[in-house]
Amino acid sequence: MARLTDDDLRAVREVGFVVREGFLTHDEVERARAGLAETFPTHAEYHADPDAHRHLTDHQFAGLRLFPFASWELNRVAHHPDLVDAAERFCGTRDLSLYKVEVWAKYSGNADYDQLPHRDYGNHNLVVPRADGRWPQMTTFILLSDVTEHDGPTKIVPRTLTDHIDLSVRRLPDNPFADDEVSVVGPAGTLLVYTTDVFHRGSSMTGDPASRFALLADFMARGAPWMGRRAWPDTGNREEWHDILGRATPRERELFGFPAVGHEYWNEQTVADVGRRWPSIDMSPYHR
């Protein structure tokens, strides 16, 4: 059974979000966390010597890192098969773009992570989302650490309370929905799925000490050039792609824009040259 049900996805469309604990198994979480430690200091390492890692908390976004990462297990969380399955059903197509992947580490003691309510479409879309849900974007947070009210959880407002606010409004000057916010808390492996037209915000870390780690992966249907966030070819010279493209399935490569098996791009020359550029890839499916 898919880990996100059709009822879950219906809630995303109608309420604007859903939170599901246990999306990742314990083993998946532990492997991703081991990969996370290749990029960030652990909770204990950071708080043992905050000054040594102050560059990660100079401002609230200082702990953001962009895909690809050094760890295959961490990279693969972004294209977890159950996440891709949910995105296919939510977006209504198999022709998907995994258009943004980030890991975000937050640590208490320096940066102020509190925000006012905002809609994410501002840097995901050059226009505004359609109110009828056409051309959807499915945005996600996957918690890679346990998150309580003291760990700076994301606070999100049900769309049913904000549908009267014009979609051109991206940010609110204050927080009139403070009593109605839902805190995205839960054990590591918890998944938040939401849409870019939903008001939400980051909150302050009140734990002493506290930390929070999350992977953000966002999907949309291909063919809507007014939407997006990252251009993966821009990172094409990074060595991590050798591992990612070599270990990914042909379907998973498609999520990053790699031509599908059977696409007219493939001919004798391109199969040979792509194989030489990326020797880690088994090119045999593309011969067909």
State both tokens at 195: 């849409």
Q: What is the largest CA-CA distance in the chain?
A: 62
Q: Which of 95, 116, 132, 130 is nearest to 221 (CA)?
A: 95
Q: According to the model, what pLDDT value does residue 64 have?
A: 98
Place of tokens 């939401």: 194
CATH of residue 104:
2.60.120.620
Is residue 276 situated within a structural domain? no
Q: Which of 286, 260, 257, 282 is nearest to 271 (CA)?
A: 286
Is residue 280 situated within a structural domain? no
Is residue 278 situated within a structural domain? no
> For residue 95, how many other CB atoms are within 10 A of its CB?
12
State both tokens at 230: 């990252």
**Full domain range(s) for residue 227:** 6-262
pLDDT per residue as tens digits for the range 250-276: 999 999 999 999 999 999 999 999 999
Is residue 131 situated within a structural domain? yes
Phi-psi region of 111 (alpha: psi -120 to 50; beta: other; left: phi over 0): beta
Q: According to the model, what pLDDT value does residue 288 have?
A: 75
Place of tokens 């990660």: 56
Q: According to the model, what pLDDT value does residue 255 have?
A: 98
DSSP state of 30: H
Q: According to the model, what pLDDT value does residue 1 have?
A: 47
Q: What angle do CA 14, 18, 24 make, to 5 degrees?
A: 150
Q: Report the domain count for the chain.
A: 1
Is residue 287 situated within a structural domain? no
In the predicted model, residues of the chain with pLDDT beneath 70 are 1-2
Is residue 151 situated within a structural domain? yes
Pairwise CA distance, residues 79 & 224, whole Å: 20
Q: According to the model, what pLDDT value does residue 251 have?
A: 97
Q: According to the model, what pLDDT value does residue 2 have?
A: 62
Is residue 67 situated within a structural domain? yes
